[in-house]
Each structure stands twice: as C-alpha cells, then as structure tokens.
Structure 1
Amino acid sequence: MKTSEPLLFLQGFLRNPKRVGSLLPSSKLLAHKIVHSVRWDEVRTIAELGPGTGAVTRLMRAHLPKSATVFLFERDPKMRNNLKQTYPGFMFHSNASYLLKRINQEQIHSLDCIISGLPFFNFSREMRHNILSQIHTALRPGGTLVLYQYSLYMKKQLAELFEIEKIQFEPFNLPPVFVYVCRKRLDKGANKMSELGES
C-alpha cells in the first residue's frame, strides 16, 4: 500500500528535520504561485532542489515541453523513490551540493530555471555558500531562480547574486512562506560570489 504524501513528508521530517524543514508538504496554493512565477516558454532545462513529495513537480510537469531535461534533487530516500515511480523520465540525485557535477555528467552546462525549497536557514554557512554558488554558476545568464523560504533571512544574500524580481507571501501555506523570484544578471553577477564568501 502506497504511503500518503503528508505521512511520507512527516516521516521525512522526523528522520531529518533540518534537511526537510517543514512538517507538511507545500500547499496547492503555494505550488501554483511557484509554477506561475516561471516563464515556461524559456525553459528547456530545469532542476528542482528539494521536491519532497512532488507538490510543485506535478504542476511543473504540465507546463514543460516534452523535450525538456529535468533534474530532481531529493535527499530523503523514501521521497526520492516515490518520485522516481511517478516521474520515470526525470533524472534523480540525492544531494544538491553536487548540482554542477550531476548536470555536467549529462552534458548539460547551464539551466534555464531552478526551483528550490531547500531550508537554507537550517544549513551551515559553508553549505549555504556552496549550494548558492552552484545555483548561480548553473543558471544561464537571464535564467530564473524561484526559491521559497519561511523567512526573509535569505534576502540580502540573494540580492547580492541575483536580480530579485519580486517576493510574494503565501499566508495559507503551513507554515506561511515567502516566494522569491530571481533572475541571474546578464553582466556583473559572477564576481558577487566571492563577496558573498567573505561576508
């Protein structure tokens, strides 16, 4: 018998609360807000970091062209295996800290979009820096980052690396959440990474 998604998510949280970050999967309202923030006509390569039980992934698949290359990075093995059964055409990896390595192995050298639900607040400074650096490098110039967090803690760091187009608040998610919609700058964004490492 297949485990229900809320129970699967709760089990993942209890196993590793710092990595999962929430007791419940993303709400449908949040998933719609995230998916509607992406310019899907520009997307041919995409990665989702921390898809959990696939609340966003379900809606994302409906907007993707058939030829799109999709990477899902999910650390929890039970949730990852559940996603593999549902999305056999996607590529799966366990650790977003190896984002660049994994996409390069598939001869993909840049992504059009990255969607992330990783709980950066719970990560060490080194891990935050490592993953943000890889996100920045992996995105093509003008590429989109949609990141949802439970506070505005990441605003300053994101503004140093990306153009923040908007921040939306979703009060009907549990817990309430902020959605950052960012775009990689076309010019001098690359040298900001060293400044972030020093801050």
Structure 2
Amino acid sequence: MKKFETLLFLQAFLKNPKRVGSILPSSKFLASKIVQSIPWNEVSIIAELGSGTGAITHLMKAHLPCSTTVFLFERDKGMRNNLKGKYPDFMFHSNASYLLKKMHQEHVHQLDCIICGLPFFNFSREMRENILSQITTALKPGGLLVLYQHSLHMKKKLAEQLIIENIKFVPYNFPPVYVYTCRKKEDGN
C-alpha cells in the first residue's frame, strides 16, 4: 500500500506541483513530530489541511478520542478518495479556502487544533492571507495550529496573528521541513 500511496502522491505533484508542493508524502519522522506537538486530551474537533495520502492522518487517528470530529481537506481527488476509503468517519472536503464555510455547514463554530501542510510559498498573497485568516478565525482562543513548511517564510506572518510557541527543523523528510507550533491568543485577537 505504501508504494501505491507514494505513486498517488507523485502523480498529484506532477499534475499540479504548485498545489501539492512536494514530490513525496510526509515522512514518518515528520508525521511523528507533528503528532507529538499536540495535546490530544484537549482535542475534540480538529482539521487537517492538505492531508495528502494520510501519512499524518494515520498517526493522528491512533491518538484521537473516539468522539473527535475530524475535517480532512485534500484538493487532489485521487488522494481524497483514497483517504475516504480508510477513514469513513471523517468529513472530507476539497478546498481549504472554504474552511469556515464547511465548518458552519456542519454546525461547528471553532476548532481545537489545525494541522496544516499547505504549500503557502506557492500560493498567491491573496490566497495565503485568505486561508491564514480562516485558520485564525476557525481556532478557538488558545487553539493550536501545527504548520509545516519547507522554509521560514511564514514566520513573520504567523507572528502577527498567533503566538509561535516553537519551530522545529525536521531534516528527515524530503525536502526537509520546519514545524511551527502556534497558539491562538486567548483574547481572540
């Protein structure tokens, strides 16, 4: 199954490199670092933006309490359908630009946590700001954003809207990534 998922991911990258952002799925080292960054006992509603083939979703599933509401956003139809077969209890959506709209359709007002691997560097400034604004609005005060990127280009923008608790470098991923752990300010600003 791992080879199938790697090929599925590579195919999606070749079809649309600006939206996928990497030629390989997240490594087990990256997935582990992300999962370790989250206090799972505080999570009852979570979203993963850019789920890909589910490298992080797989580890996340093992930590989720049974009653957790999970939104998965994956633009590529092939990868999204693959995830639907594995995680039938999760809610699937194709476009993270509609995060708030999809939450409201499900009568969810705020999220405890968001995991995001969207390739912000490849997006237009308007798209990047739209999605980041929705992420900030979607998180409850004190909610957690765990974001992974291939550079530190998002640091200044994140610091304007969230509290950056730490940034960890994960060299054992191709390409290597930075994992930002950020928290929404308690006063909601």
1:2, CA displacement in angstroms?
9.7
1:39, CA displacement in angstroms?
0.7
Indicate whether 1:151 and 2:151 are aligned: yes
Rounded to whole Å, the distance in 2 between the matches of 1:70 and 1:44 is: 8
Name the structure 2 match of 1:35: 35
Give the letter aligned to residue 98 of structure 2.
Y
Give the letter aligned to residue 133 of structure 2.
S
For residues 50-101 of structure 1, what are the alpha-carbon distances to aligned partners after superposition, in whole Å with 9 as ceiling and x for unaligned? Answer: 0100000000001111000000000000000000000000000000000000
Indicate whether 1:25 and 2:25 are aligned: yes
Name the structure 2 match of 1:167: 167
Aligned-residue sequence identity (percent) comes to: 72
Give structure 1 regions of 4+ aligned residues with deviation exceeding 2 angstroms. Answer: none
Rounded to whole Å, the distance in 1 between the matches of 2:151 and 2:2 is: 33
Give the letter aligned to residue 146 of structure 2.
V
Provide closer, same or farther for how the CA distance between residues 86 and 152 of structure 1 changes in structure 2, counting only shifts above 3 A: same
Q: Secondary structure at the match of 1:4?
A: helix
Rounded to whole Å, the distance in 2 between the matches of 1:88 and 1:171 is: 33
1:168, CA displacement in angstroms?
0.2
Provide closer, same or farther for how the CA distance between residues 2 and 178 of structure 1 changes in structure 2, counting only shifts above 3 A: closer
Indicate whether 1:178 and 2:184 are aligned: no
Provide closer, same or farther for how the CA distance between residues 91 and 74 of structure 1 changes in structure 2, counting only shifts above 3 A: same
Rounded to whole Å, the distance in 1 between the matches of 2:75 and 2:82 is: 12
Rounded to whole Å, the distance in 2 between the matches of 1:37 and 1:109 is: 23
Name the structure 1 match of 2:53: 53
Q: Secondary structure at the match of 2:25?
A: coil
TM-score in terms of structure 1 length: 0.93
1:3, CA displacement in angstroms?
6.8
1:158, CA displacement in angstroms?
0.3
Q: Secondary structure at the match of 2:100?
A: helix
Rounded to whole Å, the distance in 1 between the matches of 2:176 and 2:108 is: 35
Q: Could you tell me which runs of 5 or more consecutive residues in structure 1 were left unpaired when the two chains were aligned.
A: 191-199
Provide closer, same or farther for how the CA distance between residues 39 and 4 of structure 1 changes in structure 2, counting only shifts above 3 A: same
Rounded to whole Å, the distance in 1 between the matches of 2:80 and 2:2 is: 14
Provide closer, same or farther for how the CA distance between residues 117 and 2 of structure 1 changes in structure 2, counting only shifts above 3 A: closer
CA RMSD of aligned residues (A): 1.2
Give the letter aligned to residue 29 of structure 1.
F
Name the structure 2 match of 1:134: 134
TM-score in terms of structure 2 length: 0.98
Rounded to whole Å, the distance in 2 between the matches of 1:135 and 1:2 is: 30
Rounded to whole Å, the distance in 2 between the matches of 1:169 and 1:186 is: 27
| Number of aligned residue pairs | 189
Indicate whether 1:104 and 2:122 are aligned: no
Name the structure 1 match of 2:120: 120
Rounded to whole Å, the distance in 1 between the matches of 2:2 and 2:28 is: 21
Name the structure 2 match of 1:4: 4
1:183, CA displacement in angstroms?
0.3
